[in-house]
Structure 1
Amino acid sequence: MSRIATAKPGKRRGALLLNPGGPALEGLDMPGQMAPTLPASVLDRYDLIGFDPRGVGHSAPISCHLSDPNLADLFPYPAADGSITANVAQARKTARQCASSVGDDLRFFNTPDTARDLDRVRQALGEKKISYWGQSYGTYLGAVYRALFPGSTDRMILEGNVDPNLVWQQQAATWNKGMADRFPDAARIAAAHNDSLGLGADIPTVTKNYLALADRLDRTPAPLPGTSMSLNGLTLRQVTYSLLLHNETLPLLTRLWKAAADLADGKLSDQDKAVLGQVSTANPPEPGVPADNQTTMFLALTCGDAAWSHDMNKYAADTAADRKAWPLTDGMPKNIWPCAFWPAPNEAPVKVTSQGPRDVLILQNRRDNATPWETGLGLRRTLGSRASFVGVDNGGHYVYHAGSTCADAATVAFLADGKLPARDLHCTAKPLS
């Protein structure tokens, strides 16, 4: 746990726990990251609390001892011809590796038990109630905590939201729509700079060229000069997904597309090399944390919270259908994951309902490729009158401090004074440049 004790005597309301989601992102540094974005009216009211959830980071981290620790490489894109045979074999191998490495304890790394840990955090802090701000997966963790400990929850902000009724196989499938909604934001920037990028003068053309490039790299990976590595379609899609999460990285993404196209054509410039180097820079290993820790815990949570289908034929059929219906995601979201071979969940998913006081603010972007608009609406419907919803005409995974003064004002008013909007808000954001 970590704490920045910003609350002022006479103004202090309590502790504000922060979780960055992931699943399985470390949260110890989150108070320091959030504090500069919050006004005095909020900081005077709360001590900011960060924590690494069980099994994550510095909280007794677990490891499957995977040979490839990269989380993105778990995402099961099919072969260039659409086959999922290799995905099935890899999913089975990964599940067996985790079961062997972690053992029976694997089933205790789940969201309900993590939520129970949060209440132990509350007790350790000596707080009767805690406020909470969760992003992405952290929205599901917060909703589960609120369901298990309704009397211990104060004000709750949920940002970039998971639908608790879709955990997790159906939630993964929503990435199809999320990518289709978000991709045009980047394509629009590329089209506006067609003179220098040469990717197309309009969104349809940029999209067509991107899909052709991904398919080309699937079939013929392009060697990266001076290294033993090659750029393939899988990596292009992974990096595209990641850079779509933030508006400020969209210009970099469009330059990456140009660099990838030039690499495939064998005409890599010095500028292209710089872009590829910027994108491919890996985080250094963290002392005391296994290299595959986030990947391991991502699997433990997404596979251990709820059962997944074991129907291999349906995975193949759904993947083939989605490759046609949603070409940007190439069938990956409905393809087979290691979860198909995972041990049975330790308990049934916690039921999230509309019962309880009105104490939740939901923040959701309309074009979020990680947790799409529809899943935010799903959480809104589930919480009913307990929550107020702030929807923003913006792209990316994050709402607060991301370009909407309307959303920021609603967030601050709720944390500082407990004022929820009387009705759902629909906010604008500064336009993309």
Structure 2
Amino acid sequence: MISKKLLTFIGLIFCISSATIAQNTSFHTAKASAPEAGSMFIFPERILLKDGSFYNAERATMFVPMNRSVENSDVISLDVYRFKASEKANPNTPPIFFLHGGPAFQGLESAFKELGTFEKYWQFMTDVADVVVVSQRGIGTSKPTTIIDSRKSKMPLDEAYNEEAAVEELQNRLSKEKEVWENLGVDLKGFTVLEAAEDVNDVRKALGYDKITIWGGSFGSHWGMTLMRQYPEIIERAILRGMEGVDHTYDHPGHTWNAYKRIAEEAENSEELKGLIPEGGLIAAAETIVKRLSKKPVTVEVENSYTGKTEKVLMDGHWAKQFTRGYTGKQEATWPADIITMYNGDFTKAALKVIENTYALRSRPLTASYYMLDCGSGITPERLKEHLADPATEVIEYEWDYRKACPCWDSDLGDEFRTNFETEIPTVIVQGTWDRSTPYENALELIPYFKNLKFVHLKRGPHGAIRAAYLYSAEFKKALLKFAECGDNSDLKDHMELPQVKWVVPE
């Protein structure tokens, strides 16, 4: 009979051997052959609805080449959802392919855990056609998810900002992260928007569709326009918002600041903020904040909730430029209060935001694919020169991450890719005048290239202009779905207006 001591010893040896094997085994050693590029595994997915019932969707894993320019490329997988059209839909209507922004789409699985999400944002589209959602390569629920160490550098908070040290730390970290993925056998050269457009076409073919309607915003509009140029014959219609054209990956600082000027004009004439607006207006106040803190930084003592200790935070010109776009949240209604508070010399909440920016983990972790996709689309030298010369760069921080991080990734599709093109595809563009991510002027620049276009100017419209419009107006929603169904845009208005904002009053 084997003693307990001997069994324990044998078990210990087994554990040590297993650990050694695990350390010396690459994940590439599986003996099973890789899935064939272009193949798709479809399975049922039940989505829990708010009333306790289920919607029966389809989910799929789509296998595509990692880099189509390389013969016998390895494959990667994409997460795909399909919501089948309801009985109300015309069976001859092409499916809607929904292209998310970012590029940082984390997939729909976690979103559907919040009851009511499917009914509010997706189900109404199924009354028109099938709806297909394609993930972004290397991001979220696609595999491999090329997640990287994107923690923010913990520079001394009580010292003047040292850009040289910050850049060195960022570039060293990202270069190491790029090397990690390359050593794991991931060909990052394939992570471009051109390949992402090919992904959509491969999904289309795998699901058996001849033509599709694309619906996308922000990076999704950039992704969609790439597909429109590569495969115009497969696109029946396009619905776009938050326009990010072929040379718009870097947001124009002057055009971005124009969105704040439009917000400021309305805030300055509001009853809520009457008597609180600094002399000269909110834009002049923002400029004054930057000048003051650049000339004479202010030290603020606040509690660091991440360490439990009191921190001294030096508010200098660098941080001032970070917060001239606001620090309270993403809502337009809070921005004037932030500017008024800082103008009046109160930097407490701004200092707390500095700590949060330094210590908080990103809610959406960055990936190597994020950088490869955006840095690959890049910017033309002429446009970059124009951006850097714009006076708005003296007031707001201009694309620091792209300008300092992109050289690490060696990803650039070239200026020919960034040349605008004409298209005859029937298109609806909905652009918000208060879009602070992809400015309104982007759409104005692109309008001449869309030869079959309905442009909807959305006053007070945010970055998510289409969603804001259809949640507010049932009439708009019905008209947009009519276009998606048959291409008739006659019920869409040229100009729409969202309700006036209820401004947050500073304490």
Greater Rg over alpha carbons, structure: 2
Structure 2 unaligned segments of length 5 or more: list them.
1-79, 503-507
Query: Is 1:349 aligned to residue 417 of structure 2?
Result: yes
Question: Residue 433 of structure 2: SS of its match in structure 1?
Answer: strand
The structural deviation recorded for 1:373 is 1.9
- Alignment correspondent of 1:154: 236
Between the aligned residues of both structures, percent identity stands at 19
In 2, Cα distance between equivalents of 1:409 and 1:10: 13
Could you say which residue in structure 1 is the equivalent of 2:179?
A: 100
Identify the match of residue 119 of structure 1 among 201, 208, 223: 201
Letter in 1 for 2:84: A
Deviates more, 1:419-428 or 1:150-159: 419-428
Distance in 1 (CA, whole Å) between partners of 2:326 and 2:484 is 30
Corresponding residue of 1:48: 131
Tell me the secondary structure at the aligned position of residue 222 of structure 1.
Answer: strand
Cα deviation digits, residues 304-362 of structure 1 (max 9, x gap): 2347659xxx98x975x44x455432555798332244315367627663244x32211
1:393 aligns with 2:459: yes
Task: Compare the two structures and name the one with the higher helix fraction.
Answer: 1
Q: Which amino acid aligns with 1:432?
A: V
Equivalenced residues, count: 396
3-state SS of 1:367 partner: coil
Which of the numbers 54, 66, 86 marks the counterpart of 1:7?
86
Structure 1 pair 57–106 and aligned structure 2 pair: CA distance change class (3 A): same
Cα shift at 1:18: 1.7
CA positional deviation for 1:201: 5.1
**Match among 478, 482, 498 for residue 413 of structure 1:** 482
Shift of 1:59: 0.6
Aligned match of 2:439: 372
Q: Name the SS of the counterpart of 1:46 in structure 2.
A: coil
Kept in 2, the 8 Å contact 1:108–1:346? The answer is no
Match of 2:220 among 114, 138, 153: 138
In 2, distance between residues paired with 1:378 and 1:195? 34
Deviation for aligned residue 1:90: 5.0
CA distance in 2, matches of 1:55, 1:411: 32
- Matched to 1:389, the amino acid is F
What is the distance in 2 between the residues matched to 1:190 and 1:178? Answer: 19
1:47-85 C-alpha deviation (Å, 9 max, x unpaired)? 333332101111121033234399xx9xxxxx979x964
Q: Contact between 1:20 and 1:26, CA under 8 Å: does it hold in 2?
A: no
TM normalised by structure 1 equals 0.73
Q: 2:303 corresponds to which letter in structure 1?
A: P
Residues 76-95 of structure 1: pairs in structure 2 closer than 5 A: 85-86=164-165, 88-90=167-169, 92-93=171-172, 95=174
User: Counterparts of 2:229 and 2:380 in 1: how far apart (Å)?
Assistant: 23
- SS of the residue corresponding to residue 64 of structure 1 reads coil
Are residues 280 and 80 of structure 1, via their aligned partners in 2, closer, same or farther at CA, if it must alter by over 3 Å? closer
Q: Structure 1 residues 211 and 424 mapped into 2: Cα distance closer, same or farther (>3 Å)?
A: same
2:495 corresponds to which residue? 426
If asked which structure has higher relative contact order (CA below 8 Å, sep 6+), I would say 1
CA gap 1:414/1:105 in 2 versus in 1, 3 angstroms = same
1 CA distance for matches of 2:405 and 2:169?
A: 8
- Secondary structure of 1:390's counterpart equals strand
Task: Kindly state the Cα deviation for residue 10 of structure 1 after the two structures are TM-superposed.
Answer: 5.9
Q: Deviations over 1:237-259 (max 9, x none)?
A: 5566488996xx23334444566
RMSD: 4.5
Partner SS, residue 226 of structure 2: helix
Q: 1:117 to 1:2 in 2, by over 3 A?
A: same
- Tell me which residue corresponds to 2:104: 24
Question: Is 96-105 or 186-195 further displaced after alignment?
Answer: 186-195
Alignment correspondent of 1:76 = none
Query: Which one-letter code corresponds to 1:292 in the other structure?
Result: P
Task: Name 2:46's counterpart in structure 1.
Answer: none
Q: Is the 8 A contact 2:325 2:335 kept in 1?
A: no
Deviation at 1:222, TM superposition (A): 2.9
After TM superposition, give the deviation of residue 144 of structure 1 in Å.
0.8
CA distances 1:364-415 after superposition (whole Å, capped 9, x unpaired): 12332211122112222222x1332222222421222425747545423312
Structure 1: which 5+ residue stretches go unaligned?
74-78
CA contact (8 A) 2:242 2:431 kept: yes
In the alignment, which residue of structure 1 is the partner of 2:10? Answer: none
The equivalent residue for 1:179 is: 257
Query: Which deviations, in whole Å up to 9, do the C-alpha atoms of 1:134-176 show, x marking residues without a partner?
Result: 1111101001112222222232211110122x243xx43x133
Aligned to 2:396: 329
Q: What does the per-residue CA deviation read over 1:60-119, in whole Å, with 9 as the maximum and x for residues that have no partner?
A: 21033234399xx9xxxxx979x9645653564355234323326222111010111111
Change over 3 Å in CA distance of 1:285–1:250 after alignment to 2: closer
Name 2:146's counterpart in structure 1.
62
